[in-house]
Amino acid sequence: MTDDARILQTLQLAFTLAPVGLCVSRDRVVDLCNEAFARMFGYEVRELVGQPLAPLYPSADEFAHVGQLGLPVMRETGVYSDERIMRRKDGTLFWCHVAGRALDRSDPFGCAVWMFEDISQRRPVTATLTLREREVAQQLAAGATSKQIGRALAISPRTVEAHRARLMKKFGAATTGELVARLVGAG
């Protein structure tokens, strides 16, 4: 076996057996994924290859919104990461840490490599949330202020506060700190 063939075999092995979900996407369509990625979402690899990533999100709006948030960051830096709620084949929602890198910063979604890690063990989805509540929760968990959340979501800080109040009620939190602890799985 040549050195090049051995390197290729080793890379294929690393991709296939990685303990986290790995996905290569082209224009936000699954080009290639490993078994850990497919299993995390409740699919077989063959069911995902060639399919859009959109069905893995809780809604089409969230798929579009994450794209709008990630695109400028990837154009600027070439990488993007966050923690977000994703959807399994059976419809259940779970928290996921996602990190990706673009092949070409001028066309970040043209080809990108993504890592998905199921973090539901430490951060379970414990309440039914609306799309906007999920977006606000994601931003709160990342440490954003009401003003920052408002700018990111194109809503007023006052609207953010209203969503935060509903989240606090749904999670039984008395303070914002307690809410954030529950959102990140520490409370």
- pLDDT recorded at residue 186: 55
**Angstrom distance (rounded) from CA 161 to CA 147:** 10
- pLDDT recorded at residue 45: 97
Residues 109 and 144 in one domain: no
Residues 110 and 149 in one domain: no
- The answer to the question of residue 53 being in a domain is yes
Q: What is the CATH number for 108? A: 3.30.450.20
**Residue whose C-alpha is closest to residue 40's, from 20, 13, 24:** 20
Q: Digits of tens for pLDDT over the chain (187 positions)?
A: 899 999 999 999 999 999 999 999 999 999 999 999 999 999 999 999 999 999 999 889 889 989 998 999 999 999 999 988 899 999 998 989 999 999 999 999 999 999 999 998 877 776 677 878 888 888 887 788 889 888 888 889 899 888 888 888 888 778 787 777 777 665 5
- pLDDT recorded at residue 20: 95
Query: Which tokens sit at 43?
Result: 């699919």
Please identify, among 87, 118, 149, the residue that sits at the C-terminal boundary of a domain.
118
- The answer to the question of residue 142 being in a domain is yes
Q: What is the CATH number for 138? A: 1.10.10.10
Residues 76 and 154 in one domain: no
Residues 19 and 79 in one domain: yes
- The answer to the question of residue 29 being in a domain is yes
Please give the residue range of the domain that contains residue 34: 3-118
The CA-atom distances, in angstroms, between 56 and each of 42, 93, 111, 121, 151 are: 10, 9, 18, 19, 26
Number of domains within the chain: 2
Residues 39 and 88 in one domain: yes
Q: Which amino acid is at 53?
A: L
